[in-house]
Amino acid sequence: MSGLLRRHRDFRLLWCGETAGKFGASVTGVAMPLIAISTLDAGTFEIGLLGAAAWLPWLLIGLPVGVWVDRIARRPIMLGAAASSCALFLAVPLAHWAGVLSVGLLLTITLATGVSAVFFQTAYTAYLPSILAPADQAEGNGKLHGSASAAQIVGGGAGGLIAQAAGAVNGMFVNAGTFLTSFVCLLGIGHREPPPNATAGVDGVDHRVPRSLVREIGEGLRLVAHDPWLRTFALYGGASNLALVGLQSMQLVFLVREVGVSEGAVGALIAAGSLGGIVGAFVSRRVAARMGTARAFLAFEPGVSGLVLLVPLTTGGAGLLLFVFGSFAMVAGVVAANVIKAGFQQRYCPPQLLGRITASMQFVNYGTIPLGALLAGTLGSTIGIRPTMWVMAAAIPAMGLILVLSPVRRCRDLPTTPRDSTAPTVPGRVA
């Protein structure tokens, strides 16, 4: 066990809880579409709707959740989200046994678990800096992203194997158990947050007057819109996620119906591709230290992730290696860049504003995801599944133009404070 995990009990519990939740989400990512495909005989467009439903809450409630996270303690929010996810996933097999499971109910449950995910992810992003010293945050982000990728690998494979051995519906029992584990781990964290400053404005000063939800949402959006670094990452995240999730929402249908892969093998292929996440999390800090954080971000995205263009070339037999290599590179690039971006955001943003800034960025980053899933579902049912995979795969590296035209291209390192972002010295210096 490495240093931070060995010496920091609260981080260890947070790490275990987050890893368990990611494992469960990965099982769901395979099991839910397989339930729709094999149990409910859903069409291509309905599969796209299922992918959209998981992310639609970011568009609907992402911004107000960011304000609420800044107003109240973060750990109780995560506990409530984990408990509700556990109950919702248990409802899938229970509904199946009762004979009432349908595509509509599956969409409803997916939408509800998406709401829980919005609360959990926003609170978790703002909570992590409160339990780790600034010097430990880069290591903490690397470990959390690396373990998340490992959990996705095991979860993806487990989802396919469970579906093959016991039925896709039974995979939801595993998922419910992982969120129960997450709840227990979070409950054991000893750190108690200081009372949130519910009335802090953009200047960080307590104005001692009630502040409206709309005004605080507006502050978060303005902070992101007016800051060139936050604006760049938000726009790039939204554009690339539209293409990335469009591709991922079709990959199960592509592998099963276009390539002819069995349900059990689907999980193994996705797990093999997801190995890139571990590699990306492992090398991100080392590459960033050698090249600089800004240059490393560009090297990973759109550089390494651009090899996703191999995925639409996938065929049966040895041609499956194209899917593995393309997915491996894509996931490695995305995870490595996310580690760098998470560290930048946690250092760059004032703690009292981190919740609403995070929510504002994720509103753009994740808000395009349901649009991408719907677009892929629509294209898949009109032009075909493989042409849709080509459109989405080609769009992923093309979105790198946003970064090329931004301050990221001109710097060696990302700034650590807003002041540094305007000065051509220290970390944000022009290279």
Query: pLDDT digit string (tens) for 136-166?
Result: 766 676 677 667 666 766 666 666 666 666 6
Q: Quote the CA–CA distance of 391 and 136 in Å, as a whole number.
A: 40
Residue 94 has pLDDT above 70, yes or no: yes
CB 302 within 8 A of CB 173: no
As beta bridge partners, residue 430 has 411
Residue 54 has pLDDT above 60, yes or no: yes
Tallying the residues shown for the chain, one arrives at 431
* Chain segment 184-198, per-residue pLDDT in tens: 999 988 877 766 554
Question: Residues with Cβ < 8 Å from 381, sequence gap 6 or more?
Answer: 43, 44, 45
Residue 242 has pLDDT above 60, yes or no: yes
* Residue-level pLDDT at 195: 61
Provide mean pLDDT across the span 108-112: 91
What are the extents of the domains in the chain?
3-191+212-421
* Chain segment 253-305, per-residue pLDDT in tens: 888 888 888 766 777 787 788 778 778 878 888 898 899 988 999 989 888 88
* Residue-level pLDDT at 335: 84
* Residue-level pLDDT at 326: 92
* Class of CATH domain 3-191+212-421: mainly alpha
Confidence of residue 206 (pLDDT cuts 50, 70, 90): very low
Q: Quote the CA–CA distance of 41 and 30 in Å, as a whole number.
A: 15
Residue 117 has pLDDT above 60, yes or no: yes
The torsion region of residue 208 among left (phi > 0), alpha (psi -120 to 50) and beta comes to left
Q: Which amino acid is at 123?
A: A
The overall average pLDDT reported for the chain is 80
* Residue-level pLDDT at 325: 93
